[in-house]
Chains A and B, each alone.
Chain A
Amino acid sequence: MNLLREELSWITPELCLTLFACVALLVDLFVQKGRESVMVGFFSLMGLLATAFFLYRQYGVTPPAQPVFGCMVVDPFSTLFKLFAVGALAFVVLFTMLSRQTRPDGYGEFYFILLCAGLGAFFLASTYNLLLMYLGLELLSIASYILAGYAKGNRRSGEAAMKYVIFGAVASGVMLYGFTLLYGMTGSIDLTVIGPKLRDQFALDHGTIPISVATGLCLAGFAYKISAAPFHFWTPDVYEGAPTPVTTFLAVASKGAGFAALLRFLQAGFIPDRTLGGPEAMMGYSDKLGTLVAVLAALTMTLGNLAALGQTNLKRMLAYSSIAHAGYVLMGVATMNREGFSSVLFYLVVYYFMNLGAFGVVMYYANTTGDEQIDDLKGLGWRSPLVAITMVAFLVALVGLPPTAGFIGKWFLFTAAVKKGFLWLAVVAGINSAISLFYYFRVARAMWLRPEEEAKYATVHASPAFAALLLVLAVGTVWFGVGFDSLLRYCDYSQNLLR
């Protein structure tokens, strides 16, 4: 009994989130019509706050790896990602409450599904168990499919959801098949067992073809989730069609969880234990895998950036930009070492601030004008300077210029890549950053370089609540570009996956 309580205490955040998801569902039933969004949203926020509290308490005392029920693991890595997901969810909930697109009736369950998706992200981040990883992924994905299609009667939303579900189901099916192959080879679905077993097989030098096939299938699934090339094609359609708060969720929380699972998968299964030392063949395989990821990274960022150049729709442009950013983050993954993974964590936190902010501005803009075209932002800077100034901060961060966090994030990714010997990748990423300036600053150009007289819309001012949200994100974006040492330490502390 005591043992059960002990184990349960490690998953308080998950329990708390589940509880509040149910509360949100119940509140929706009893609250009067027309006020669901505000009330349910409020309770969801409370739930997220409570979850964040538990997570924060856990963060300080988390042991290097605390197994829970033999299938979950609680460590600083997972806790950081959960905090990341909770923060993203909180902003998505706030955006939903403030957005007109999601104001109408029937948005009570929206929050329930959103919290369930968050729960999926929680499981995805904190397990070595392939089956639980799959279940977490599916919980996250299925909830996301519904969220993407939530604007009923909107053709674009419906189409986005449909594309998402078809491609998503295939990707998760492929990944599952890869998992089963790993199971077939090693007789276990626990990555902590699979890793040593694979090492033995490498030592026996059985040839790596079956392992390569299985790894390839698994990686395809992860690549889909983080929208890396060549499995990125769904991203622009889904991001554009889904309601903007949902897009924000997909671009930030969902992608973050995907990276968490990917890092854990690679770390447990394919990176030789530094202290024990792996067989020569495994070292070689790990490096080859890294090179493959590096090539994918280069491909992803280049494709994303080139496609973003031609976009006229702001949301679609940001979708391609998020593909490009997945490419940058993959640079850190490609190093297959502690330093690289730490830089991935850092960049994801940075990415969280700048992308939430950018999508927040898109939402504000679409709300007030019903328009998502970049060119129609003309003169916005002069009409509502606060929103436009924060947008410039986010854009600068997305390009990766100091003194914003985007620069520091890229700095660590570059450092990790160059240290691993991927100088070419750093140069490719650098050129890509320069290219990205062009399309990001088309937004700044429209907002500021066009005179006020050309403005298409007499923009109403941002509500104080919304302005405060954007300011928080903008301050975060700049703050972590100037005083990032604490964040750096957190990321390093959280990245103790690798011995």
Chain B
Amino acid sequence: MIANHLLTWITFIPLLGMLAILLAPATQKALIRGLAVVATAIPLGLSLYLWLTWGAVNGGSAQLQYVERVPWIQAGNFLVQYFVGVDGLSMPLVALTCLLMFIGVFASWNIERGMKGYFALLLLLEVGINGTFVSLDIFLFYVFWEVMLLPMYFLIGIWGGPRKEYAAIKFFLYTLAGSVLMLVAIVALYLITGTFAIASYTEGGQNMPGLLELARTKQITGANLVAGGVLMGVSFQDWMFWFFFIAFAIKVPIFPFHTWLPDAHVEAPTPISVILAGILLKLGGYGMFRIGFPIAPESFEKFRTLLAVLGTINIVYGAYVAMGQTDFKKLVAYSSVSHMGYVLLGAAAMTDWGVKGAVLQMFNHGTSSAMLFLIVGVIYDRAHHRELNGFGGLVTQMPYYGGLTTLGFFAALGLPGLAGFISEALTLLGSFKTYPTLTVISCLGVVMTAAFLLFAFQRVFQGPLNPKYAKLPDISGREVFCQAPFAFLCVLFGVLPTLILDILNPAVKQFLLLFPA
């Protein structure tokens, strides 16, 4: 029974946990924490099962797995389905979400004020994220997509830093502005095609083409909605492409839309930063791969050079701004902007390696950035500030912490042997064929990333020990426990990338097939 509804369980067990937490008395702190651990541990276990049996179950095919499809809303022609399933693109991200949420609960151990609400919102967030990853119905996708916003607003706004209110509403407004555009595009898509299904399915022996299938066969022109499929001199496909792209670009975030990210990161409490960088940003990238690009393949073809330029700007600009930061967390935030640029660059390149690198980069950035934010959290908990210049020589005082930080930094800057290297190298190699100049410029970003990370390391850990922090205790067991899985994954996928590439391969091939050559 569990295997038949695996994705439903993964998605909705946190919701049950949330309800249980809401019913628990606020004074029973241990009970609430315990419930949160259980409600995140079960999906983690299930997603591990999903991952470990993946090859055995699907035997390397690109088919969607664990598909569930039941009508949700049915009235006349209006049919919204509860249609979920995973393929190689979404499955690793689901697993990553479950892991990050599980760790997020432990990273939130110190939260005392309103902890009942905190854990309830955290679990609701997990429902939204996992739901978005597994949705194969665009209406369902949108609902889950928006469900994420509310808990995020409160998690930043209530438990955040001094400018939390500004950061929270900015995050909310930016994302909502994007999703409103997406909504208009979804409405238009529905009116053109009459279906919400993203993937094709069979109903009563009859093949019902999904949106992607219709897009591939050039049936989404918009000619039945606006005359000739052209609106204000711009083709309907282009409108839709940009509406989706902006919605997802804000989430990634892509260069002109990125300004909410540093604010949100700096103000959010550590576990929320971890989740924000680790998964929420991936939703933007995932949305592009799942819907944004293949829904308008010709527009994508037309504009992909522009997207590659945007990706390059992200890589270089993010790294450049990060170099100038003295706030540890802001530095890591901008490094995220830089790293997510690879996703766009690799996707725009449209080569097997480029796309594979981009997808892998999403996963690897999920682990390495989560680790970096946890590292920042450790020092912030002890010193109560994040000023890079205010530290020094900590490596002698906190050797274990220093060691883990080294690993995290090296993973982030793409040292061979660690995960980040594989994905960045794949992306750059893949895009070199298509955009040699841009790739060369992007390599500059790699150098800059190395520079600002090593420089930051030097300022915090080397040099003379700042006497103010001579008594800082080293990293605690709980903190090590939080970081260890990410460190392990960074090393594992750095050494044995095939473990994950075998999963991605068929999905990427399938993705490339969605675009007429």
Q: Which of A's residues lie within 8 Å of B, judged by CB?
A: 382, 392, 396, 399, 401-403, 407, 411, 414-415, 418-419, 421, 423, 426-427, 430-431, 433-434, 437-438, 441, 444-445, 448-449, 451, 483-485, 488-489, 492
13 extra interchain contacts, Cβ-Cβ under 8 A, other than A415-B190, A448-B154? A411-B183, A418-B184, A418-B187, A430-B184, A434-B177, A441-B169, A441-B172, A445-B157, A449-B158, A449-B165, A451-B113, A485-B74, A489-B75
- Contact status A448-B76, CB under 8 Å: no
- Of the listed residues A399, A427, A449, the one surrounded by the most CB atoms of chain B closer than 10 A to its CB is A449
- Contact status B78-A402, CB under 8 Å: no
How far, in angstroms, from A237 to B269 measured CA to CA in the complex? 42
- Contact status B165-A402, CB under 8 Å: no
- Contact status B165-A414, CB under 8 Å: no
How far, in angstroms, from A414 to B188 measured CA to CA in the complex? 9
Q: A407-B146, A484-B73, A488-B75 are in contact. Are A414 and B187 (CB under 8 A)?
A: yes
- Contact status A448-B158, CB under 8 Å: yes
Residues of A within 8 A of B147 (CB): 402-403
- Contact status A423-B188, CB under 8 Å: yes
Residues of B within 8 A of A448 (CB): 154, 157-158
How far, in angstroms, from A169 to B113 measured CA to CA in the complex? 55
Partner of B114, one of A382, A421, A431: A382
How far, in angstroms, from A42 to B451 measured CA to CA in the complex? 76
Partner of A438, one of B173, B187, B190: B173
- Contact status B75-A441, CB under 8 Å: no
Residues of A within 8 A of B491 (CB): none
Residues of B within 8 A of A427 (CB): 181, 184
Residues of B within 8 A of A401 (CB): 146, 149-150, 176
Q: Which residue of A lies closest to B239 (CB)?
A: A423
- Contact status B173-A434, CB under 8 Å: yes
A420 to chain B minimum Cβ distance, whole angstroms, is 10
How far, in angstroms, from A379 to B75 measured CA to CA in the complex? 43
B137 to chain A minimum Cβ distance, whole angstroms, is 13
Residues of A within 8 A of B150 (CB): 392, 396, 401
- Contact status A418-B191, CB under 8 Å: yes
Q: Does B54 contact A (CB under 8 A)?
A: no
How far, in angstroms, from A423 to B226 measured CA to CA in the complex? 9
- Contact status B168-A449, CB under 8 Å: yes
Partner of A437, one of B142, B173, B225: B173
B231 to chain A minimum Cβ distance, whole angstroms, is 7
- Contact status B169-A419, CB under 8 Å: no
Residues of B within 8 A of A430 (CB): 180-181, 183-184
How far, in angstroms, from A392 to B169 measured CA to CA in the complex? 15
Q: A418-B184, A448-B158, A489-B75 are in contact. Are A403 and B173 (CB under 8 A)?
A: no
B110 to chain A minimum Cβ distance, whole angstroms, is 17
Chain B residues numbered 152-199 whose CB sits less than 8 Å from any CB in chain A = 153-154, 157-158, 164-165, 168-169, 172-173, 176-177, 180-181, 183-184, 187-188, 190-191
- Contact status A488-B73, CB under 8 Å: yes
Q: Which residue of A lies closest to B79 (CB)?
A: A485
Q: Which residue of B lies closest to A414 (CB)?
A: B187
- Contact status B188-A418, CB under 8 Å: yes
Q: Does B143 contact A (CB under 8 A)?
A: yes
Partner of A414, one of B76, B143, B183: B183
How far, in angstroms, from A382 to B117 measured CA to CA in the complex? 10
- Contact status A445-B226, CB under 8 Å: no
- Contact status B73-A485, CB under 8 Å: yes
How far, in angstroms, from A483 to B73 measured CA to CA in the complex? 7
- Contact status B180-A492, CB under 8 Å: no
How far, in angstroms, from A438 to B172 measured CA to CA in the complex? 9
- Contact status A426-B78, CB under 8 Å: no
How far, in angstroms, from A445 to B163 measured CA to CA in the complex? 13
How far, in angstroms, from A489 to B74 measured CA to CA in the complex? 9
- Contact status A488-B157, CB under 8 Å: no
How far, in angstroms, from A414 to B189 measured CA to CA in the complex? 12
How far, in angstroms, from A426 to B187 measured CA to CA in the complex? 9
- Contact status A437-B172, CB under 8 Å: yes
Q: A414-B187, A423-B188, A430-B181 are in contact. Are A488 and B176 (CB under 8 A)?
A: no
How far, in angstroms, from A335 to B491 measured CA to CA in the complex? 59
How far, in angstroms, from A427 to B110 measured CA to CA in the complex? 44
How far, in angstroms, from A489 to B77 measured CA to CA in the complex? 11
Residues of B within 8 A of A451 (CB): 113
- Contact status B164-A449, CB under 8 Å: yes
A433 to chain B minimum Cβ distance, whole angstroms, is 6
- Contact status B75-A423, CB under 8 Å: no
Partner of B75, one of A411, A421, A444, A485: A485
B251 to chain A minimum Cβ distance, whole angstroms, is 15
Q: A431-B180, A438-B173 are in contact. Are A402 and B146 (CB under 8 A)?
A: yes
Partner of B142, one of A402, A423, A433: A402
Residues of B within 8 A of A426 (CB): 184, 187
Closest 10 CB pairs of A and B: A430-B180, A402-B143, A488-B75, A449-B157, A434-B177, A485-B73, A402-B146, A414-B187, A485-B75, A434-B176
B285 to chain A minimum Cβ distance, whole angstroms, is 22
How far, in angstroms, from A429 to B254 measured CA to CA in the complex? 25
- Contact status B176-A411, CB under 8 Å: no
How far, in angstroms, from A488 to B75 measured CA to CA in the complex? 7
Q: Which residue of A lies closest to B188 (CB)?
A: A418
Residues of A within 8 A of B226 (CB): 421, 423
How far, in angstroms, from A41 to B303 measured CA to CA in the complex? 65
Residues of B within 8 A of A437 (CB): 172-173, 176
- Contact status B191-A415, CB under 8 Å: yes
Q: List 24 A-B contacts (CB under 8 A).
A: A382-B114, A392-B150, A396-B150, A401-B146, A401-B176, A403-B146, A403-B147, A411-B187, A414-B184, A415-B191, A421-B226, A423-B231, A426-B187, A430-B180, A430-B183, A434-B177, A438-B173, A441-B153, A441-B169, A444-B154, A449-B154, A449-B164, A451-B113, A492-B75
Q: Which residue of A lies closest to B236 (CB)?
A: A423
A166 to chain B minimum Cβ distance, whole angstroms, is 39
Residues of A within 8 A of B172 (CB): 437, 441
Residues of A within 8 A of B188 (CB): 418, 423
B126 to chain A minimum Cβ distance, whole angstroms, is 15
Residues of A within 8 A of B176 (CB): 399, 401, 433-434, 437
Q: Which residue of B lies closest to A490 (CB)?
A: B75
B103 to chain A minimum Cβ distance, whole angstroms, is 26
- Of the listed residues B74, B143, B153, B176, the one surrounded by the most CB atoms of chain A closer than 10 A to its CB is B176
Chain B residues numbered 129-149 whose CB sits less than 8 Å from any CB in chain A = 142-143, 146-147, 149
Residues of B within 8 A of A488 (CB): 73, 75, 78
- Contact status A415-B184, CB under 8 Å: no
Q: A434-B177, A438-B173, A492-B76 are in contact. Are A423 and B153 (CB under 8 A)?
A: no
How far, in angstroms, from A431 to B176 measured CA to CA in the complex? 9
- Contact status A445-B169, CB under 8 Å: yes
Chain B residues numbered 225-244 whose CB sits less than 8 Å from any CB in chain A = 225-226, 231
